[in-house]
């Protein structure tokens, strides 16, 4: 999966898709265009060439990653292969885990699909009485 020929160019949007940060190349390209991905602390275009050793700052949803490029690939493969393409910094990993713990600690709102059932209505009534 890694590049053997150093003359081959690897686009940033294709690498992000191959590394499984985004599901499609289009989503990756849109994120780069919107400034959610920075290459070596610089805003770039989706076609920018990526090299081994580059540092990427990636904002995907509520998650923010800071990774170092270890290998290059244009093809999306299994997750086990994708994880070999980069190394996440310790600070980035700790920050993501802290945010995940905060989100998990927040109370989850009620989510009903369509019209509430009798059971759902009873839960709503119990919630209203306790508030």
pTM for this model (two decimals):
0.73
| Whether 57 contacts 36, CB under 8 Å | no
CA angle 73, 31, 34 (to 5 degrees): 140
What is the pLDDT, as a whole number, of residue 99? 86
Q: Domains of the chain, with CATH numbers?
A: 12-106 (3.10.290.10)
What are the DSSP E strand ranges found in the chain? 37-39, 42-43, 55-60, 63-69, 86-88
What is the pLDDT, as a whole number, of residue 54? 92
What is the pLDDT, as a whole number, of residue 74? 86
The rounded distance, in Å, linking the Cα atoms of 77 and 42 is 28
What is the pLDDT, as a whole number, of residue 112? 62
Mean pLDDT, 10 residues at a time, over the chain (131 residues)? 59 93 93 93 92 91 89 90 92 90 79 82 88 70
What is the pLDDT, as a whole number, of residue 2? 52
């Amino acid at each position: 999966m890694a590049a053997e020929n150093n003359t081959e160019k690897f686009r940033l949007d294709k690498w992000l898709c191959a590394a499984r940060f985004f599901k499609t190349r289009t989503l990756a390209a849109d994120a780069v265009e919107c400034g959610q991905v920075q290459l070596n602390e610089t805003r770039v275009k989706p076609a920018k060439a990526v090299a081994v050793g580059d540092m990427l700052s990636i904002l995907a949803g509520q998650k923010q990653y800071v990774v170092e490029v270890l290998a290059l690939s244009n093809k999306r493969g299994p997750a086990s292969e994708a994880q070999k393409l980069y190394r996440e910094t310790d600070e980035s990993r700790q920050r993501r885990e802290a945010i995940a713990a905060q989100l998990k600690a927040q109370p989850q709102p009620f989510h009903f699909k369509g019209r509430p059932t009798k059971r759902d209505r009873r839960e709503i009534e119990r919630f209203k009485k306790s508030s």
